[in-house]
């Protein structure tokens, strides 16, 4: 599988990354089979967070990847603090909390360093200089190789891009949510990569879309509208190509994207994603037709200023 550089770092991520949130206690031994299959097919980027399943996800990933730790890019996220009752969480980007939560992530992941540590959110009202200081200290202490943020707020992204050493921004990005494209030229100019999450839009960009309720919605699209557009997509792509594969190819047609992070709750689902990289790349004509079918929107608030 091809690899792409994350920002200006020496991290080169597989074009398909694995979203560990899709793993769960209910899958039992299937969790191990999924991760093993990912490794066997060249996936080297694994993305988790301390928030997932109250830390269980990090513990599982630490256990399953400890023998290949030097061969992978291990990414996790912090900044959300579970309440005592564990029925909700609070946003806490303070330096004190970031550094203490990070140490717990290290313990759960059974490692002494993280390749890419990401702030799991962020607003323009945060004490961002303090947060940046925490991340820079973790780097200087040799505990973090590089850091980034996971955010969809343009003003927040802009501040970190101008005042920190972030190498990446994780954003929800798919054919059904093209809002991040507004930021692509700016981030590319700054040498910052985009890590795309939600590439199949909660299943709306897969064959499962036709099993969903047409009255449901995804952002501004109705289910019925999505289903109608996907019927047209099927006429544009090769007969043996899955809609999921088309969705992934579209994302990776942008050079600013370093990896498309997709989850999988079965080996079969993962192999379908992997098959994307054994078929021809998307042509420019198909890409343009897809862009016409699913036009880009812009973020309604949190504008980027002073580019």
Angle at 140 between CA 134 and CA 144, to 5 degrees: 75
Other Cβ atoms closer than 10 A to 179: 17
* Pair of tokens at residue 210: 């036709």
CA dihedral sign of residues 236, 197, 280, 33 = negative
Radius of gyration of the chain, Cα coordinates, nearest whole angstrom: 19
Considering 12, 45, 52, 299, which one is annotated as catalytic?
52
**For 74, what's the count of Cα atoms within 13 Å in the CB-facing half-sphere?**
29
Using CB atoms within 10 Å of the CB of residue 137, give its burial: 0 to 12 exposed, 13 to 18 middle, 19+ buried: middle
Tokens 């370093």 appear where? 258
DSSP string, 102-156: HHHHHHHHT-S-EEEEEE----TTS-HHHHHHHHHHHHHTTSEEEEEEE---HHH
Q: Are 260 and 30 in contact (CB under 8 A)?
A: no
Give the relative orientation of helices 56-65 and 30-40 as an angle to the nearest 10 degrees: 50
Residue 45 designated active-site: no
What gap in Å lies between CA 88 and CA 92, rounded to an integer?
Answer: 13
What gap in Å lies between CA 97 and CA 45, rounded to an integer?
Answer: 26
Q: Which helix (H) or strand (E) holds 174?
A: none
Which of 134, 129, 130, 107 has its CA nearest to residue 118? 134
Show which residues are catalytic: 52
């Amino acid at each position: 599988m091809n690899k792409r550089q994350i920002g200006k770092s020496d991290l080169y991520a597989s074009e398909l990354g694995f979203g560990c949130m899709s793993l769960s206690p209910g899958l039992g031994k299937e969790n191990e089979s999924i991760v093993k299959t990912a490794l066997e097919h060249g996936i080297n980027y694994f993305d988790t967070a301390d928030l997932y399943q109250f830390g269980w996800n990090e513990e599982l990933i630490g256990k399953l990847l400890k023998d290949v730790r030097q061969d992978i890019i291990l990414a996790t996220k912090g900044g959300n603090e579970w309440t005592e009752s564990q029925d909700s969480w609070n946003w806490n980007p303070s330096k004190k909390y970031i550094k203490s939560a990070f140490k717990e992530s290290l313990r759960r992941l059974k490692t002494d360093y993280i390749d890419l540590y990401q702030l799991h959110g962020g607003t323009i009202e945060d004490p961002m200089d303090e947060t940046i200081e925490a991340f820079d200290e973790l780097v200087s202490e040799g505990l973090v190789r590089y850091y980034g943020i996971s955010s969809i707020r343009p003003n927040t992204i802009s501040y970190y891009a101008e005042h920190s050493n972030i190498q990446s921004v994780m954003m929800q990005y798919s054919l059904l949510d093209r809002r991040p494209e507004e930021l692509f030229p700016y981030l590319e100019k700054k040498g910052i990569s985009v890590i795309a999450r939600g590439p199949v839009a909660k299943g709306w960009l897969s064959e499962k879309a036709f099993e969903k309720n047409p009255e449901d919605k995804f952002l501004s699209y109705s289910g019925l509208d999505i289903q109608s557009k996907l019927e047209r997509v099927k006429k544009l792509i090769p007969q043996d190509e899955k809609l999921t594969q088309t969705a992934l190819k579209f994302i990776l047609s942008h050079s600013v994207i370093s990896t498309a992070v997709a989850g999988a709750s079965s080996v079969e689902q993962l192999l379908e994603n992997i098959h994307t990289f054994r078929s021809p790349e998307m042509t420019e004509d198909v890409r343009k037709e897809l862009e016409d079918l699913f036009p880009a929107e812009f973020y309604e608030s949190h504008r980027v200023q002073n580019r």
